[in-house]
Amino acid sequence: MYNCSAATSYGMKKRIIARLDIKGPNVIKGIQLECLRVMGKPDDLAQEYYQQGADELIYLDTVASLYRRDNLLNIVKQASENIFIPFIAGGGVRNINDIRSLLSAGAEKVAVNTAATKNPELIRQAAKIFGSQCIVLSIEAKQVAPGRWEAYVDNGRQRTGLDVIKWAKQGEKLGAGEILLTAVDRDGMENGLDNELIKKVTEAVSIPVIASGGAGSPQDVVECVKKTNVDAVAVGSILHYRKFGMADIKSELKKEKIAVRQTVNFSTKQNKTGQKYDIKNYNKYTMRHLTGVTGLAANKIRTEDAPARFKEEYPKGSADLGVIDYKINNVRSVLRAFQKLGKKVAIVETPEEFDEVKTLVLPGVGAFGEGMKALKKAGLIESIKRQVMRGKPILGLCLGMQMLFFESEEFGRNKGLDLIEGNVVSFKPVNKIKLPDYKLPHIGWTKISAVRRNKTTLLSGIKTPADVYFVHSFFSQPKDRSIILANAEYGGQKFCAVVQKENIMGTQFHPEKSGEVGLNILKQFCKIAKI
């Protein structure tokens, strides 16, 4: 039995994730990944679970090879329109370019499965370019003997010959930052998660693990969290069938003194506790919902789902804000967040375009060295420095904040923009911190606490402590501690979460994925920049 309440002592919270399995234009759900039923449209359900208070979303394209290659990409882009929490995207991810495209479209993390089993080096290559925190190893596990599970691919249809526990360890060694563990035998059965499997995997690795498959009630989630060292639980059936909502699950966890993110349920839909479905005739449910929640036939794709909808998704020209695109960052989600605030935003990729915007935003989801290499290749380093020295406000987000500093120790010594004096360092190794839930990368919702505030800081009007979303293994150490606006704590290590040095500002977390708190921080940046 794990002491789950210990998480509160150093900031980590258990995450409850909504899982959306995709087939063509629809969210589907099955029994042991078979007998698929249509549940609704991805954007409808994603919006619903966001309003309920989901901590993250997972999108998995179950038949990516049979449909358009851009199907998942468009779904992720659509999600970034109005959903400001993190999402993982996976299914049909074959190479580095696929990962880059999904991150640019708005995903925080990308799940790899089949391609990684065929070419494990893909994990190492992806982690080096994008950072371990972006790469999720998806494992579909089937029990083959007592205490033994084999990894499958192709939605649980094809054997790989890989032992699940050994494959999880190898994935961590190669650089995966998180594991999505699906118990195929339990999927859709709603008779509880495979806690024996989950316990073995979480004890074998020191990276976060998301458990999926089998949750039929909030009590099942509680039991999993209490019996294993899992970091997050992904649920599908009980949400899709509206048997329980996010609030029900989190309420049950809180009763057991298990730390979870406090959320407000804005959904107007009612649960249907105890609702039954006929496994022998699942088409009854499918057809009823095609004319209910979705209002569309299963084989129809909405006009706005087509690539044409995103034809002008990256505006250019004069604007209030210029989001710097250096090809390994999540520009779309940042763009949409500022547009949500009513600001005119442009994507800037050249030094000439910097002059056309009033402020600069430097987002990032990759590794420090690769980020700086990409800025250098685009010829942007000196231009960024010149614009900032002239007094133009700049906001660095996650990796973008780290690159504002002098140097990072990630994958060797790498020079940064040197706009803030200080270095970027790693959290202490897992074997040095004797806490049950301490794992690296640091992924999830953690409270920030203000240490300095006045009328002209990023945190003015923001009530702290407040939960925001982090995904990182490194953090910045400013030499001048007076520029630190807020700290956070993980594994007993206090670290800098927000900085402000005159017109130079940064957040170690992703405000564009931190719900209303994050949007309010972005709004405050606009006030400071007078736009």
Q: Which residues, 6 or more positions from 379, have their beta carbon under 8 angstroms from its beta carbon?
A: 350, 351
| Torsion angles phi and psi, residue 348, rounded to 5 | -115, 130
Is 220 considered catalytic here? no
Would you report the helix, strand and coil content of the chain in percent, each value rounded to 5?
35, 30, 40
Integer angstrom CA distances of residue 265 from 110, 134, 247, 526: 27, 28, 7, 28
β-sheet with 484-490: strand ranges across: 345-348, 319-324, 357-362, 394-397, 504-507, 493-501, 484-490, 442-450, 466-472
Q: Letter for the amino acid at 37?
A: R
Q: How far apart are CA 66 and CA 35, in angstroms?
A: 17
H/E element holding 396? strand 394-397
The residue among 131, 24, 21 whose CA lies nearest residue 70 is 24
Q: Which residues, 6 or more positions from 316, have their beta carbon under 8 angstroms from its beta carbon?
A: 346, 347, 353
Q: How far apart are CA 376 and CA 414, in angstroms?
A: 12
Q: Which 3-state string (H, E, C) describes 327-356?
A: CCCCHHHHHHHHHHCCCCEEEECCHHHHCC
Q: Which residues, 6 or more positions from 367, have their beta carbon under 8 angstroms from its beta carbon?
A: 127, 128, 129, 130, 131, 399, 410, 411
What does DSSP assign to residue 131? -
| Torsion angles phi and psi, residue 236, rounded to 5 | -130, -70
User: Which spans in 136-178 are helix H?
Assistant: 164-174
Residues 302, 75 contacting (CB under 8 angstroms): no
How many other CB atoms sit within 10 Å of the CB of residue 199?
17
- Which residue in 21, 190, 410, 512 is the catalytic one? 21
How many other CB atoms sit within 10 Å of the CB of residue 413?
10
Is 140 considered catalytic here? yes
C-alpha torsion 524→529→530→531, nearest 10: -90
The residue among 387, 397, 380 whose CA lies nearest residue 521 is 397
Q: How far apart are CA 330 and CA 363, in angstroms?
A: 7
- Which residue in 55, 140, 172, 248 is the catalytic one? 140
DSSP string, 20-51: EEEETTEEEEEETTEEEEEEE-HHHHHHHHHH
What are the residue numbers of the active site?
A: 21, 140
